[in-house]
C-alpha cells in the first residue's frame, strides 16, 4: 500500500507541463554585455536618443554595483558575459502588421499554453500582451480598449507612440540605481507591457501579459509600466512559463506602477517559470523588482502573487504610500518544491498620513525547498496615523525543507500601528490518515489542506485565475507530504 | 455471514509484534466492547481494521462484507462503510469543519455512485446532526478540531459518524478524558446511531462508558490475544476484580 509519503512523492514529481520548445528561427545577438550590445539592442528597436542615453547611464552605474548577497538563497556565480541579451523570432523583428501575419508557430505556442491570441478564441474579458523572449508578439483587444482611451501595448510601441508618458514615468518608481538587477534590466531591457488608464476610466477588462522564454541561454529582461490616472481603475495579470533546460536562465524584470489621486491598480502574478528538475538542475533565476507608487491621495495598489515556478525567486513587490489615505496590499503564496529556493516578501513604505497596508504571506515548502519571507514595514516621521497588519504563515511538507521569516519593522511616528502575526504548520501523516479514514484520498487531502492554507490569497485573484492557481498549486505539489 | 471477521490476526508495529492471533466476529446490529489493560493492543486492533499504514499485518486476515480488507487503502475502507472515531482527533488548520465533513461525505457518496450533496442540502443535514450531539453550530465553521476542547473533539468524532452513517463504527477510547456530562452526550449520540444494519466496536479501558452504551458482547484483550469473551456482565466483573485477575488465571492455566 502506498504511504502518504509515496503518494505525495508521486504527486510532486509530476512533469512540468509547459516545458516544450518552439522551433523557430530567432535573431539573437552574441552573448555578452558591453556598450555595443546595448547600442545594438536600442538600434534594433529603433529607439530615440534619450532612451539609449538612459540605458547607457544605467549600464555604467551597474558596473559599479555589486550583486546582492544578503538574500537567503545560494547559487553559483552568474557569468553575465555568457547571457544572450536579445533574442527575437526573425519574423517578429520585421514587425508584422496584424495577427494574420504572425508566424503560426508562435500562435500555436500560445494556444498550447492556453493563451489564445486570436480575439475570437480569446479568454473572455481579458486582453493579452504576449511577450516571447525579447519581444512582444501580439496584443489583443487593443482597438476596443483604445475607444475608452486606455493604452495597452508593448513597451516598444509605447516608446514609439507615447514617448512623453514613457519618458515621464520610466524609472520614476524604480530608478536604474535602485539595485543590481534593476540596474541590469534598465541597461538591456528589450520589451514588456505598457498601460495607461486615463482619468476616471474603469478599465472594463483584465489586462494581462504572458511572458514566455523560449531561446536557450537567453535572459529575459522586460519592463512593465502601468499608470492609473486620477480616479482610474485597472486590474492586471501576469503569467510566465519557460521550456525545460539543463542550464539556468536569468529573468530580471522591472515592474513600475503609478496610481494618481483616487486611482486603483490591482496587479496579480501567476509565476510558473521552469523550476528545474528534481535534482535541482536548470530552472529560471527569477530576480525581479516590482514596486508601486501610490502617488495620489486615496489611491490603492494591491499585489497578489502565486509563485510556484523558478529555481530561485527573489522579489519583493512593494508599495510606496506617498498620498494621504493611500492603501497598499500584498497577498502572496510562494511554493518551493524539490530544490527550489524563494526569498520573497514586500516593502510597505508609509509616507503619507493615514496610510494603511496589509500583508498576507503564505509560504509552502516541500521536498528540499527553502522558502524565505522577507518584509519591511516602514512608517516615516510624517506618516501620522499609519497602520499595518502583517500575517506571515509557513507550511512545511516533509522534513527536508525549510521556512524562514525576516520581518523588518521601522516605525518613526508614535501614532503608527503595526501588527505582525505568524504561524508555522506542517502537513503530517496523521492529518493525511485522518482524511483518508473519512474517505478522502491523499491527493485530495493535500490539495484541500494546501488550498485551505492559501484561500486568503486566492480570493484576491481574479476569478478565472483563482481556479487556475489552485490547480497549479496542486500540480506543483505532486509528490511532496510527510 | 458476519459483517466483520478477524481471523488469527498478527500485527507488527515498528518490528514489534503487538497482536498475536486475534479472532473476532461481529454481526450487523451488534455492539462489541473491547477491553483490556494499557498496551494490550486495543488501539492497534482499531487502527489496523481502518488501515493505518504504520500497522503491518504479518499473518491472518480481516474480512469485511465478505471481502478481505488487506491491501485496501484506508479511504477505500472508509468508503466501504468503516468509520474510526479517533482516540486523539487530529487538528487540520485552515479547513472548516463543515467543509471537511462535506468533502468526506461526498467522497463516500461518489464511490457508491450516488449524487453529491450540494451546499444547501449538506447544511440542512449537518445542522440536524449537530443537534443530536448537542454541538454548538459555531464549531462547524471553525477549522477541524483546531482549538477544540477535549470534549468538543470527541463530540465532533461522533458528529462525523452521524453524518457518514457507517456500517461499522469503531470507537477508540472515546471516553478517555471526558467528564460525566460529555460522556453522557457522547453515549446518547452513539445510542441514537444503533441500528439493525450497523455494528459497533467500542474500545475502552474502563467499564464506565458501558453504563451508558450497553454492549452485546465484551472481549478482553491481553498481551495481543483475546483472553476472554462474554456478555455485558463480564465488564462488571472486570471492574470489580481488575485485569490482574485474568492474568493470574492465565498463569494458573499455563
Q: What proportion of chain A, given as a percentage, has pLDDT over 90?
A: 40
What's the first-to-final CA gap in chain A, in angstroms? 15
pLDDT, position A5? 45
d(CA A398, CA A405): 19
Residue A136 in this model has a pLDDT that exceeds 90: no
Q: Locate the chain B residue with the closest alpha carbon to A434.
A: B90
d(Cα A52, Cα A37) in Å, to the nearest integer? 11
Is B94 in contact with A452 (Cβ distance < 8 A)? yes
Q: Residue A439 and residue B104: Cβ atoms within 8 Å?
A: yes
Contact B112, B79 (CB under 8 A): yes
Q: In terms of pLDDT, which residue wins out, A327 or A429?
A: A327
Average pLDDT for chain A: 83
- What is the chain A residue with the closest CA to B71? A1
* Distance from C-alpha of A321 to C-alpha of A316, rounded to nearest angstrom: 15
Mean per-residue pLDDT for B197-204?
A: 95
- pLDDT for A309 beyond 90: no
Distance, in Å, from the CA atom of A297 to the CA atom of A359, rounded to the nearest integer, reads 21
Report the gap between the CA of B94 and the closest CA in chain A (Å): 5
Torsion (CA) B69, B70, B75, B80 in degrees, nearest 10: -10
pLDDT band at A135 (very low <50, low <70, confident <90, very high): low
Q: Decide: A241 and A273 in contact? Cβ < 8 Å.
A: yes
Is residue A86 a contact partner of residue A41, using CB atoms and an 8 Å limit? Answer: yes
pLDDT of residue A11: 43
Only one residue has cell 524563494, namely A342
Question: What pLDDT sits at residue A269?
Answer: 86
Task: Answer whether residue A442 shows pLDDT above 80.
Answer: yes
* Nearest in space to A304 (alpha carbons), one of A206, A408, A425: A206
- From CA A311, how far away is CA A250, in angstroms rounded? 10
| Cα–Cα distance, B44 to B41 (Å, whole number) | 5
- For residue A266, give the nearest of A129, A461, A455 by alpha carbon: A461
Q: Which chain B residues are Cβ-neighbours of A439 within 8 angstroms?
A: 75, 78-79, 104-105, 107-108, 111, 164
Nearest 5°: the CA angle A461, A302, A164 is 115
Q: Cβ(B219)–Cβ(B228) under 8 Å? A: yes
Report residue B99 as a C-alpha cell: 467543509
8 Å CB contact of A440 and B86:
no
Nearest CA in chain A to B160: A438
What span, in angstroms and rounded, lies between the C-alpha atoms of B185 and B188? 5
Q: What grid cell was written down for A51?
A: 532612451
Torsion of CA A149, A151, A157, A161, to 10 degrees: 30
Interface contact flag, B108 A453, Cβ < 8 Å: no
Most confident by average pLDDT, A112-126, A229-243, A381-395: A381-395
Inspect the interface and report whether the beta carbons of B103 and A455 lie closer than 8 Å. Answer: no
Q: Which residue of chain A is at minimal alpha-carbon distance from B95?
A: A452
| pLDDT (mean) for A460-469 | 72
Question: Taken in order A449, A455, A461, A467, is the CA torsion positive or negative?
Answer: positive
Which chain A residue's Cα is nearest to B69? A1
Q: Is the pLDDT of residue A238 over 90?
A: no
Angle at A388 between CA A383 and CA A391, to 5 degrees: 160
Query: What's the rounded mean pLDDT across residues A338-350?
Result: 90
The confidence score (pLDDT) of residue B74 equals: 96
Q: How far apart are CA A469 and CA A456, in angstroms?
A: 13
**Residue B104 forms contact with A (CB below 8 Å):** yes
pLDDT reported for residue A99: 62
Least confident of A205-214, A237-246, B16-25, B108-117: A237-246
> By the CB < 8 Å criterion, does B174 face chain A?
no
Q: With beta carbons under 8 A apart, name residues in chain A contacting B108.
A: 439
**C-alpha cell belonging to residue A119:** 480575439
Q: Is B95 on the interface with A (CB under 8 A)?
A: yes
Q: Quick one: closest CA in B to A1, which residue? A: B71
Whether A3 shows a pLDDT value over 50: the answer reads: no
Query: Measuring CA to CA, which residue among A349, A480, A359, A350 is closest to residue A426?
Result: A480
The CA distance from A248 to A307, in Å, is: 18
**CA atoms of B171 and B85, how far apart (whole Å):** 5
Whether B103 and A448 lie within 8 Å, measured CB to CB:
yes
Cα B250 to Cα B254: distance, rounded to the nearest angstrom: 6
How far apart CA B183 and CA B208 sit, in angstroms, is 9
CA distance B22 to chain A (A): 22
* Cβ neighbours for A145, distance < 8 A, ≥ 6 positions apart: A127, A151, A152, A203, A205, A207
A441 contacts B107? CB cut-off 8 A: yes
Is the pLDDT at A298 greater than 90? The verdict is yes
Asked if B83 has any chain A CB less than 8 Å from its own CB, the reply is yes
C-alpha cell at B30: 451488534
Q: Is B70 near chain A, with CB under 8 Å? A: no
Please report, rounded to a whole number, the percentage of residues in chain A having pLDDT higher than 70. 80
In the prediction, which pLDDT does A2 show? 41
Interface check for B246 against chain A (CB to CB < 8 A): the answer is no
The stretch A188-204 carries a mean pLDDT of 91
> In angstroms, rounded to a whole number, what is the distance separating the alpha carbons of residues A71 and A68?
7
Of the candidates B74, B103, B164, which has its C-beta nearest A433's C-beta?
A: B74
- Residue-level pLDDT at A8: 42
Whether A287 has a pLDDT exceeding 50, the answer reads yes
Interface of A with B in 407-436 (CB under 8 A): 423, 425, 429-431, 433-436
Min Cα–Cα distance to chain A from B123, Å: 18
CA distance A138 to A128: 8
- Residue A4 pLDDT class (50, 70, 90 cuts): very low
Cβ atoms of A301 and A329 within 8 Å: the answer is yes
Most confident of A115-124, A178-187, B232-241: A178-187
Please judge whether B86 and A434 are an interchain contact, meaning their C-beta atoms are less than 8 angstroms apart.
yes
User: Given B50, B51, B107, which is nearest A440 (Cβ)?
Assistant: B107
Cell for A227?
Answer: 499608470
**What is the rounded average pLDDT of the residues B44-70?**
95
Instruction: Decide if A267 contacts A257 (C-beta within 8 A).
Output: yes
Residue B141: how many other CB atoms lie within 10 Å: 10
Beta-strand (E) ranges in A135-229? 135-139, 151-154, 193-197, 206-212, 223-228
Quote the pLDDT of residue A133: 65
DSSP of B159-222: HHHHHH--SEEEEESTTTT--HHHHHHHHHHHHHT--TT-EEEEEESSSGGGGTS--SEEEEEE
Quote the DSSP letter at residue B91. Answer: P
Which one is predicted more confidently, B187 or B133?
B187
Answer whether B71 touches A (CB < 8 Å). Answer: yes
> For residues A99 and B143, which has the higher predicted lDDT (pLDDT)?
B143
**Average pLDDT of the segment spanning B207-214:** 89
The chain A residue lying nearest B91, using CA atoms, is A431
pLDDT tens readout for residues A7-60? 444 444 456 666 666 766 777 777 888 899 899 889 888 899 999 999 999 999
Question: What's the mean pLDDT in A388-417?
Answer: 91
Q: Are B91 and B146 in contact, with CB atoms under 8 Å apart?
A: yes
- Percentage with pLDDT > 70 across chain B: 98
Contact: A436, B92; criterion CB under 8 Å: no
pTM of the entire predicted model? 0.79
Is residue B92 within 8 angstroms of chain A, CB to CB?
yes
A443 to chain B, any CB pair closer than 8 A? The answer is: no
What pLDDT is stored for residue B101 in this prediction? Answer: 96
Cβ atoms of A149 and A135 within 8 Å: the answer is no
Asked if the model's pLDDT at residue A123 lies above 70, the reply is no
Residue B141 has pLDDT above 60, yes or no: yes
Q: Which of A122, A93, A94 is nearest to A110 (CA)?
A: A122
Q: Give the residue among B229, B146, B204, B144 at the shortest CA–CA distance from B190.
A: B204
pLDDT at B171 over 70: yes
What does pLDDT average to over chain B? 91
Interface predicted TM-score of the whole assembly (ipTM), two decimals:
0.95
B53 CB neighbours in chain A (<8 A) are 1, 3-4, 429, 433
d(CA A405, CA A342): 11
Record: contact A438-B73, CB cut-off 8 A: no
Choose from B90, B97, B166 for mutation: most chain A CBs within 10 A: B90
Nearest CB among B83, B84, B103 relative to A440 is that of B103
Min mean pLDDT across A94-103, A368-377, A453-462, B89-98 is at A94-103
pLDDT band at A324 (very low <50, low <70, confident <90, very high): very high
Contact: A425, B53; criterion CB under 8 Å: no
Mean pLDDT (whole number) for A371-383: 94
Q: What is the pLDDT of residues A67-76, one digit of tens each?
A: 888 888 888 8
Q: Distance (Å, rounded) from C-alpha B236 to C-alpha A280?
A: 63
Amino acid at each position: 500500500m502506498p504511504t502518504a509519503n509515496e503518494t505525495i512523492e508521486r504527486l510532486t514529481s509530476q512533469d512540468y507541463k509547459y516545458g516544450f520548445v518552439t522551433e523557430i528561427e530567432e535573431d539573437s545577438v552574441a552573448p555578452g554585455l558591453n556598450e555595443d550590445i546595448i547600442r545594438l539592442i536600442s538600434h534594433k528597436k529603433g529607439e530615440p536618443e534619450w532612451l539609449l542615453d538612459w540605458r547607457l547611464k544605467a549600464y555604467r552605474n551597474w558596473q559599479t554595483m555589486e550583486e546582492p548577497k544578503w538574500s537567503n538563497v545560494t547559487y553559483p556565480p552568474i557569468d553575465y558575459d555568457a547571457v544572450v541579451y536579445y533574442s527575437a523570432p526573425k519574423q517578429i523583428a520585421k514587425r508584422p502588421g496584424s495577427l494574420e501575419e504572425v508566424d503560426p508557430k508562435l500562435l500555436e505556442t500560445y494556444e498550447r499554453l492556453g493563451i489564445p491570441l486570436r480575439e475570437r478564441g480569446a479568454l473572455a474579458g481579458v486582453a493579452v500582451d504576449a511577450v516571447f523572449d525579447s519581444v512582444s508578439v501580439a496584443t489583443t483587444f487593443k482597438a476596443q480598449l483604445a475607444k475608452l482611451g486606455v493604452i495597452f501595448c508593448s513597451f516598444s510601441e509605447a516608446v514609439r507612440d507615447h514617448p512623453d508618458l514613457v519618458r515621464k514615468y520610466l524609472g520614476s518608481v524604480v530608478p536604474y540605481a535602485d539595485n543590481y538587477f534593476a540596474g541590469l534590466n534598465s541597461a538591456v531591457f528589450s520589451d514588456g507591457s505598457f498601460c495607461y488608464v486615463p482619468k476616471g476610466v474603469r478599465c472594463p477588462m483584465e489586462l494581462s501579459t504572458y511572458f514566455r522564454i523560449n531561446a536557450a541561454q537567453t535572459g529575459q529582461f522586460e519592463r512593465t509600466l502601468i499608470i492609473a490616472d486620477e480616479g482610474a481603475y485597472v486590474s492586471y495579470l501576469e503569467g510566465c512559463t519557460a521550456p525545460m533546460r539543463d542550464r539556468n536562465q536569468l529573468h530580471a524584470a522591472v515592474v513600475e506602477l503609478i496610481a494618481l489621486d483616487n486611482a486603483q491598480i490591482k496587479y496579480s502574478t501567476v509565476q510558473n517559470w521552469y523550476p528545474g528538475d528534481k535534482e535541482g538542475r536548470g530552472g529560471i533565476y527569477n530576480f525581479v523588482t516590482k514596486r508601486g507608487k501610490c502617488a495620489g491621495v486615496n489611491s490603492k495598489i494591491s499585489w497578489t502573487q502565486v509563485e510556484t515556478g523558478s529555481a530561485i525567486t527573489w522579489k519583493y513587490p512593494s508599495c510606496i504610500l506617498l498620498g494621504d489615505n493611500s492603501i497598499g496590499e500584498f497577498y502572496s503564496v510562494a511554493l518551493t518544491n524539490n530544490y527550489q529556493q524563494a526569498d520573497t516578501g514586500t516593502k510597505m513604505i508609509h509616507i503619507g498620513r493615514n496610510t494603511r497596508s496589509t500583508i498576507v504571506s503564505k509560504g509552502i515548502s516541500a521536498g528540499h525547498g527553502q522558502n524565505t519571507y522577507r518584509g519591511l514595514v516602514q512608517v516615516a516621521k510624517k506618516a501620522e496615523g499609519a497602520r499595518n497588519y502583517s500575517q506571515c504563515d509557513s507550511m512545511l511538507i516533509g522534513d527536508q525543507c525549510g521556512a524562514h521569516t525576516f520581518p523588518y519593522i521601522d516605525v518613526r511616528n508614535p501614532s503608527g500601528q503595526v501588527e505582525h502575526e505568524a504561524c508555522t504548520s506542517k502537513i503530517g501523516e496523521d492529518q493525511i490518515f485522518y482524511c483518508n479514514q473519512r474517505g478522502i484520498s491523499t491527493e485530495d487531502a493535500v490539495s484541500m489542506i494546501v488550498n485551505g492554507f492559501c484561500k486568503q490569497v486566492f480570493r484576491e485573484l481574479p476569478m478565472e485565475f483563482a481556479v487556475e492557481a489552485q490547480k497549479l498549486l496542486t500540480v506543483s505539489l505532486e509528490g511532496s507530504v510527510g | 455471514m458476519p459483517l466483520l471477521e478477524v481471523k488469527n490476526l498478527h500485527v507488527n508495529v515498528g518490528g514489534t509484534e503487538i497482536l498475536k492471533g486475534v479472532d473476532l466476529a461481529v454481526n450487523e446490529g451488534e455492539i462489541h466492547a473491547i477491553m483490556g489493560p494499557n498496551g494490550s493492543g486495543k488501539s492497534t486492533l482499531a487502527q489496523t481494521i481502518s488501515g493505518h499504514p504504520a500497522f503491518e499485518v504479518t499473518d491472518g486476515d480481516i474480512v469485511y462484507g465478505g471481502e478481505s480488507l488487506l491491501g485496501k487503502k484506508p479511504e477505500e475502507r472508509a468508503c466501504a462503510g468503516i468509520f474510526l472515531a479517533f482516540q486523539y482527533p487530529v487538528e487540520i488548520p485552515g479547513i472548516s469543519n463543515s467543509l471537511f465533513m462535506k468533502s468526506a461525505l461526498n467522497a463516500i457518496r461518489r464511490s457508491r455512485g450516488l449524487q453529491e450533496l450540494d451546499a444547501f442540502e449538506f447544511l440542512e443535514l449537518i445542522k440536524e446532526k449537530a443537534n443530536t450531539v448537542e454541538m454548538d453550530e459555531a464549531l462547524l465553521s471553525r477549522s477541524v478540531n483546531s482549538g477544540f476542547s477535549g470534549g468538543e473533539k470527541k463530540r465532533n468524532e461522533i458528529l462525523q459518524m452521524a453524518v457518514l452513517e457507517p456500517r461499522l463504527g469503531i470507537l477508540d477510547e472515546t471516553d478517555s478524558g471526558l467528564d460525566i456530562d460529555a460522556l453522557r452526550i457522547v453515549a446518547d449520540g452513539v445510542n441514537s446511531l444503533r441500528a439493525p444494519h450497523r455494528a459497533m466496536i467500542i474500545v475502552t479501558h474502563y467499564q464506565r462508558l458501558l453504563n451508558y452504551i450497553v454492549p452485546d458482547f465484551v472481549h478482553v484483550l491481553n498481551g495481543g490475544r483475546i483472553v476472554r469473551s462474554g456478555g455485558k456482565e463480564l465488564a462488571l466483573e472486570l471492574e470489580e476484580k481488575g485485569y490482574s485477575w485474568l492474568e493470574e488465571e492465565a498463569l494458573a492455566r499455563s
